[in-house]
Amino acid sequence: MKINTLNIKPELSEIVESIWFFESNLGIPRSENSIVVPHSSVKLIVPIFGKLTAENSRLSHEYPESKILVTGIWDHPVSIYSSKVKIQTLIFRFKTTGGYRIFPF
């Protein structure tokens, strides 16, 4: 598993807190460590290679390559996992006020 922090372009620094590239040859197992808890920080997750599944107590939804997952702002935790195959994702964490400029939540 590798997580690399990417540089933020100056024109995005007002709204983006951090950008990561995540890669795992073993996928992301379903566990307590794969839970995203709500805390008003919008995260935009883009699977580049492989497929993610996001699940809460009522719904489960798959996110194939290039389909955007937005999380971190609902009033319930979301579990994110994948099958045991290679996965690569880009993760954008927005500043508290930054995400609300882009997403109408």
- CATH of residue 54: 2.60.120.10
Over the stretch 11-28, which tens digit does the pLDDT of each residue have? 999 999 999 999 999 988
Which structural domain, as residue segments, surrounds residue 97?
Answer: 2-102
The per-residue pLDDT for 73 is 73
Give the chain's domain count. 1
Least confident of 19-23, 34-38, 40-44, 89-93: 34-38
Indicate the burial class of 65 (C-beta count within 10 angstroms; 0-12, 13-18, 19 or more): middle
Give the pLDDT band (50/70/90) at residue 96: confident
Give the pLDDT band (50/70/90) at residue 6: very high
